Amino acid sequence: MNRSEENSLKRVPELLAPAGSRESLEAAIEGGADAVYLGLSQYGARAYAKNFTVEGLSEAARLAHSYGVSVYVTMNTLVFDRELDDWLRQAYRAAEAGADALIVADVGAISLCRRYFPEIRLHGSTQMTCHNAEGAEEIARLGCSRVVIARELPFSEAADIIGRTEIETEMFVHGALCVSVSGQCLMSSMIGGRSGNRGECAQPCRLPYGKGYPLSLKDLCLARHIPEIISSGVDSLKIEGRMKSPDYVLGVTRVYRKLIDDNRAATAEEIKEMSEIFSRSGFTDGYYSGHKGREMLGTRSREDKDNTEKKALGFAGLTRKIGLDLNVTLRPDMPSRLEVSAGNGKKAVVYGEVCEKAVNAPLTEETVKRNLGRFGGTIYRPDSISVDMAPGVMLRISQLNSLRRAAVEELEKTRDGSKHKEFPKIEPLTGADVQEPRRFKIAVFEDPGQIPDGAYDYFDELFVPLGRYEGSTGGVIMPAVIYPGERDRIERHIERAARLGAKTALAENVSQLEMLRKSGFNVMGGMRLNITNNVSARYYMNMGVGSFILSPEMSLPQIRDIRGNKAAVVYGRIPLMLTEKCVISELSGCKGNGCPGHATLTDRTGAGFPVRRADSCEAFSECGKCRNEILNSVPVYMADRRDQLDRYDVRGWVFLFSDESRPEVERIIKSFVEGEPMDGAFRRIRS
Mean pLDDT of all residues belonging to the chain: 91
Please report whether residue 502 resides in a domain.
Answer: yes
End-to-end CA distance of the chain: 56
Please report whether residue 588 resides in a domain.
Answer: no
**355 has a pLDDT exceeding 50:** yes
Q: Which H, E and C letters describe 629-662, residue by residue?
A: EEECCCCEECHHHHHHHHHCCCCEEEEEECCCCH
Please report whether residue 538 resides in a domain.
Answer: yes
**664 has a pLDDT exceeding 90:** yes
Q: Residue 109, SS3?
A: helix
Please report whether residue 474 resides in a domain.
Answer: yes
Higher pLDDT, 618 or 289: 289
Q: Any residues with CB less than 8 A from the CB of 92 and at least 6 apart, and which?
A: 116, 117, 420, 423
CA 125 and chain centroid, separation: 3
Confidence band of 417 (pLDDT split at 50, 70, 90): very low
Looking at residue 430, what is its pLDDT? 46
- Asked which of 259, 284, 311 is the last residue of a domain, the reply is 311
Mean pLDDT of 407-422: 67
Confidence band of 614 (pLDDT split at 50, 70, 90): confident
Domains contained in the chain, number: 3
Same domain, 275 and 348: no
Let me know the angle formed at the C-alpha of 22 by 83 and 99, rounded to the nearest 5 degrees.
50
d(CA 452, CA 440): 19
Same domain, 54 and 141: yes
Please report whether residue 25 resides in a domain.
Answer: yes
d(CA 538, CA 429): 11
Confidence band of 434 (pLDDT split at 50, 70, 90): low
Long-range contacts for 341-349 (Cβ within 8 Å, ≥24 apart)?
Answer: 342/66, 342/68, 342/411, 343/68, 343/383, 344/66, 344/67, 344/68, 345/68, 346/66, 346/68, 346/411, 346/414, 346/415, 347/411, 347/414, 348/407, 348/408, 348/410, 348/411, 348/413, 348/414, 349/407, 349/410
- How far, in Å, are 181, 475, 611 from residue 584 at the CA level? 16, 28, 7
Same domain, 409 and 444: no
* Residue 656 near residue 574, CB atoms below 8 Å: yes
- b or e along 566-582 (b: 16 or more beta carbons within 10 Å of the residue's beta carbon)? bbbbbbbbbbbbbbbbb
Same domain, 148 and 281: yes
**370 has a pLDDT exceeding 90:** yes
d(CA 507, CA 547): 11
Q: Residue 442, SS3?
A: strand
Q: Residue 622, SS3?
A: coil
* Residue 556 near residue 643, CB atoms below 8 Å: no
d(CA 209, CA 228): 37
**431 has a pLDDT exceeding 50:** no
Looking at residue 619, what is its pLDDT? 47
Counting Cβ atoms within 10 Å, is residue 422 exposed (0-12), middle (13-18) or buried (19+)?
Answer: exposed
d(CA 37, CA 69): 10
Same domain, 298 and 340: no
- Asked which of 283, 311, 339 is the last residue of a domain, the reply is 311
Looking at residue 9, what is its pLDDT? 53
Domain that holds residue 370: 322-413
Q: Which H, E and C letters describe 394-429, residue by residue?
A: ECCHHHHHHHHHHHHHHHHHCCCCCCCCCCCCCCCC
Same domain, 101 and 229: yes
Confidence band of 362 (pLDDT split at 50, 70, 90): confident
**414 has a pLDDT exceeding 80:** no
Please report whether residue 604 resides in a domain.
Answer: no
Q: pLDDT tens digits for 468-525?
A: 999 988 999 999 999 999 999 999 999 999 999 999 999 999 999 999 989 999 999 9
Same domain, 553 and 503: yes
* Beta pairing, strands 122-124 & 70-75: unpaired
Please report whether residue 98 resides in a domain.
Answer: yes
Angle of helix 365-372 relative to helix 397-413, nearest 10 degrees? 40
Confidence band of 416 (pLDDT split at 50, 70, 90): very low
Confidence band of 226 (pLDDT split at 50, 70, 90): very high
CATH number at residue 288: 3.20.20.70
Same domain, 59 and 96: yes
Same domain, 306 and 326: no
Same domain, 149 and 237: yes
Same domain, 339 and 306: no
- How far, in Å, are 16, 535, 541 from residue 434 at the CA level? 42, 12, 9
d(CA 464, CA 458): 16
Q: pLDDT tens digits for 33-61?
A: 999 999 998 786 565 667 789 899 999 99
Looking at residue 433, what is its pLDDT? 52
Same domain, 28 and 114: yes
- Asked which of 260, 291, 311 is the last residue of a domain, the reply is 311
pTM metric for this prediction: 0.92
Please report whether residue 17 resides in a domain.
Answer: yes
**182 has a pLDDT exceeding 70:** yes
